Amino acid sequence: MRSEEKLSTLVIGGRGEFGQFLQQDILPILGMDNILTFERETTGVESLVQLQRARHVVLATPLAGYAQLACELVYRCRDLQALTTIWLIPSVQAGVWRAVTATLEIVGNPFLSAIFVHPMYGPNGFRATEPEARTFQNVLTAIAEGSDHPLAEEVTQMDGAFRRAFNITTTDAFNPEQHDRITAYSQGLSYCVARLMFEQPEVDTLLKEKMPDLYHSFHANHDLILDFLRINAYMPQVIAAFAEAWRQTTGSTYDDVLQAFKHADTALNRGEDSPIPTKWYERLRGSS
C-alpha cells in the first residue's frame, strides 16, 4: 500500500450536512486534504477499496441507526492490515460505545482502534468570534485501542490541532454515560423547545420572529433533534420537566417559552452551569 494512501481520511456520510461541513470547513484546515467519501448504503468492493486506503474513518451519518452502522463498519474493517482509526461522533454516545467496543472485541483486529467523541459545534456555529464560542468543544468520552494501535499520540495531536486552528478545546472529563446525562439536561432541554416549535405553529411563528437563527438551525436539524429526543436514555425526565413547566404557563407567548425553559432548567440543573453547554441552550438560558 502506498504511503499517500495511508494518509487518506474517509468520511462516511459525506453528502450529509455534517459530512459536508467536515469536508469544507474542518478537515482541510487541519491539513487533511486527501479526503474520500462514501454513503451509508455503499457496500461491497467499492467500500472495501475506500477503507483499505483510509488511515482515518469518520462516521458522519444520522443518529438514527448509528450504532448498528458503526458495528457493521467494524466488521468491514476486520481484515485490514494497516493502522486504522474509526472516529465515532454521535450526539448520543453511550449506546454506540457499548455496541462498538463489544464488536471490536469480537472482531479482534489488532490494527483497528476507535475514538468516541462528540463535536459540540457544527455548520450553524463553530467560529471563535461567536458569542457562544465557549460552548464549542470536543467531548472525548472513550477510546478503544487495538493491541498494535495505541491512540495516545493521535488524541494529543487532535487536541493540539483543534486548539491551533479553531480555538476549540477537547475534554475527556466525561465517560459516555455521563456525557449523555449532562447533554440531555442542556442540549436535550433546548430540543424540547424545538419540538414545541415543530408541534405548535404559533410557537414556531414566535421563535421565527424572536430568535431567527435558532429557528433556522432547529428546522435544519429537525430529524436529528427528534432522534436525540428518542434515543438519549436520559430524555424522559427532561421532557417531563419541560412539559410540566409549560403547563404552568398560558402557553401562548414568547415569554411563556422562556419561562418554561427557565423553570425546567432550574429543576434539572439546580441553578448550576452545565458542564457541557451548547450554543442554543446558552442562548435560551441567557434570554430567560
CATH assignment of the domain containing 119 = 3.40.50.720
Position 40 scores a pLDDT of 79
157 and 183 belong to one structural domain: no
Strand intervals (E) in the chain: 8-12, 35-38, 54-59, 84-88, 112-119, 137-144, 169-171
C-alpha distance from residue 65 to each of 76, 92, 99, 157, 258 (Å)? 17, 12, 12, 30, 33
187 and 250 belong to one structural domain: yes
Cell of 114: 476507535
142 and 193 belong to one structural domain: no
Confidence class of residue 6 from pLDDT cuts 50, 70 and 90?
Answer: low
Indicate the residue among 171, 194, 212 that finishes a domain: 171
83 and 100 belong to one structural domain: yes
How many Å is the Cα radius of gyration of the chain? 20
8 and 130 belong to one structural domain: yes
Which percentage of the chain shows pLDDT scores above 70? 98
Which residues have a Cβ under 8 Å from the Cβ of 46 and sit 6 or more positions away?
38
115 and 200 belong to one structural domain: no
Indicate the residue among 171, 197, 215 that finishes a domain: 171
99 and 138 belong to one structural domain: yes
91 and 32 belong to one structural domain: yes
Name the average pLDDT for the chain: 94
How much is the average pLDDT of 225-238? Answer: 98
Q: Using the predicted structure, report yes or no on whether residue 5 has a pLDDT greater than 60.
A: no
Indicate the residue among 112, 145, 171 that finishes a domain: 171
Tens of pLDDT, residues 77-118: 999 999 999 999 999 999 999 999 999 999 999 999 999 999
pTM (two decimals): 0.94
Position 177 scores a pLDDT of 98
164 and 180 belong to one structural domain: no
Strand partners, 13: none
167 and 181 belong to one structural domain: no
Tens of pLDDT, residues 181-217: 999 999 999 999 999 999 999 999 999 999 999 999 9
Q: Which domain range does residue 82 map to?
A: 3-171
Q: Using the predicted structure, report yes or no on whether residue 137 has a pLDDT greater than 80.
A: yes
